[in-house]
Chain A
C-alpha cells in the first residue's frame, strides 16, 4: 500500500511539473507559391489629343507630337516585341486631309519615332524616318529583341507627326483616330 502511494505521489508530481510545459502549443505547415512570368506589354498614350499646327502662312506642314509610355517584357531567348500604329479613323469631316483617300496623291501623314530603350534591359529600334501612316495596315513605331524589360514605371517614347498642308483642304477642323498597339512574346 505504501509503495502504491509513493508511486502515485511521484506520478502526480511529474504531472504537475509537465503540465505547464504542455500549455503552449505550436503547429506549422508549409505551402509553395509559384508564378510563371510571361511576356507582357502595355501602353499608355499620354497625349490623348495631339493638335497638329502649322506656323506661318506658307503651307508649311502641320506638325505635332504624341507622347507615350510603354511597359514591356519579352521572352528571355527568343522573344520579340513591337509598337505599331494605324489610322483606324480617317480624318473627318470630308473636305480636308485624308490618309486613305488623300485629295492629292502626294499628301501624307508621316511620322518619326523616338522611343527610348527599355530601362532594365534591351534596346528599342525606332521606325524609319519618315514613315507614312496608313488606314489599311499597321506601321512600325519601334521593335524590341529578346529579354527586353522596361522599368516598372514604364519607359517613354514620342511620335512626331507631319501632315501635308495641301491648299486643296477646305478650311475647318479635322480629326483622325490613330490606334497604337504594343505586343510582346
Chain B
C-alpha cells in the first residue's frame, strides 16, 4: 500500500513536469522582413496635347504630371527617373525627334521633381532635348531617399519646336518613363 502511494506521488510529479515542457504561457515568434529599394511611377497625364497660342510660330508646350514612389538603399543607394521617346511622332510630315526636318527642331523638357520625405531629388535643369536613341534624365535621388506613401507629385514641362516646315495635321509620339532604385 505504501509502495502504491509512493508510486502514484512520483507519477503525478513527473506528469506535472512533463506538461510544463510542452509550452509556455508567453510564447514568442519572430517575424522578419527585408525592406528593399523600390520604385514606382504613376502618370496622371497619360495623353498630353501640346498646344500653342497665337499664329506666330511660338513653340508648342504642355505639361505631363506624374507621381513617384521611391525608396533607395540606406547607404550607397541611388535612384533615377528617366524618359525616352519610344515611338516617334507619326504620321510622317510633321515633327520628329529622331529625324527632325530641320536640325534645330527639338522636343525638349524641363523637370519639376520635389524632394521625397527623406533624401534629395535632383531634377533635370531644362531644357533637355529628348531622344529616341537613349534615355534622358528627369531626376536623380541619393541614398536613403524615401517618398511618402502617397508619392510625390511631379511634372515634366514640354516644348516642341514649331517649324513652318511641318505639314498641318495631328501627330503623336509615345514617351516611356522609367524609375529605378537601388
A41–B56 CA distance with the chains assembled, in angstroms: 6
A99–B17 CA distance with the chains assembled, in angstroms: 124
Flag if B164 contacts A40 (CB, 8 Å). yes
Interface of B is mostly: strand
Q: Which residues of A contact B165 (CB under 8 A)?
A: 73, 120-121, 149-152
Flag if B37 contacts A33 (CB, 8 Å). no
Give the bracket for the number of chain B residues in contact with chain A.
35 or more
A79–B164 CA distance with the chains assembled, in angstroms: 14
B133 at the interface (CB under 8 A from A): no
Shortest Cβ distance from A24 into B: residue: B182
Q: Which residues of B contact A25 (CB under 8 A)?
A: 36-39, 180-182
Flag if B169 contacts A37 (CB, 8 Å). yes
A36–B64 CA distance with the chains assembled, in angstroms: 17
**Known A27-B39, A29-B43, A30-B176: A147·B167 in contact at CB below 8 Å:** yes
A58 at the interface (CB under 8 A from B): no
8 Å CB contact of B45 from A24, A31, A150: A31
B92 at the interface (CB under 8 A from A): no
A184 at the interface (CB under 8 A from B): yes
A134 at the interface (CB under 8 A from B): no
A1 at the interface (CB under 8 A from B): no
A94 at the interface (CB under 8 A from B): no
Which residues of A from 73 to 105 have beta carbons under 8 Å from B? 73-76, 79
Which residues of B from 64 to 103 have beta carbons under 8 Å from A? 64, 66, 73, 86, 89, 94-95, 101-102
Q: Which residues of A contact B57 (CB under 8 A)?
A: 40, 42, 71
Flag if B48 contacts A184 (CB, 8 Å). no
A34 at the interface (CB under 8 A from B): yes
Give the bracket for the number of chain A residues in contact with chain B.
35 or more
8 Å CB contact of A35 from B64, B73, B95: B95
Q: Which residues of A contact B105 (CB under 8 A)?
A: 152
Output the least CB separation between A98 and chain B (Å). 33
Shortest Cβ distance from B50 into A: residue: A35
Flag if A23 contacts B73 (CB, 8 Å). yes
8 Å CB contact of B167 from A24, A72, A76: A76
A32 at the interface (CB under 8 A from B): yes
Q: Which residues of B contact A41 (CB under 8 A)?
A: 55
A38 at the interface (CB under 8 A from B): yes
**Known A120-B165, A151-B165: A35·B170 in contact at CB below 8 Å:** yes
* 3 nearest A-B pairs in the assembled complex, by CB-CB distance: A42-B56, A35-B50, A26-B180
A contacts, CB < 8 Å to B: 15, 19, 22-42, 71-76, 79, 118, 120-121, 147, 149-152, 154, 184
B contacts, CB < 8 Å to A: 34, 36-43, 45-51, 55-57, 60, 62, 64, 66, 73, 86, 89, 94-95, 101-102, 104-105, 107, 158, 160-182
- Apart from the given pairs A24-B182, A40-B55, 16 other A-B contacts in the complex at a CB distance below 8 Å: A15-B34, A23-B36, A25-B182, A26-B179, A28-B41, A29-B177, A31-B43, A31-B175, A32-B47, A34-B172, A35-B50, A37-B94, A40-B164, A41-B55, A73-B167, A76-B167
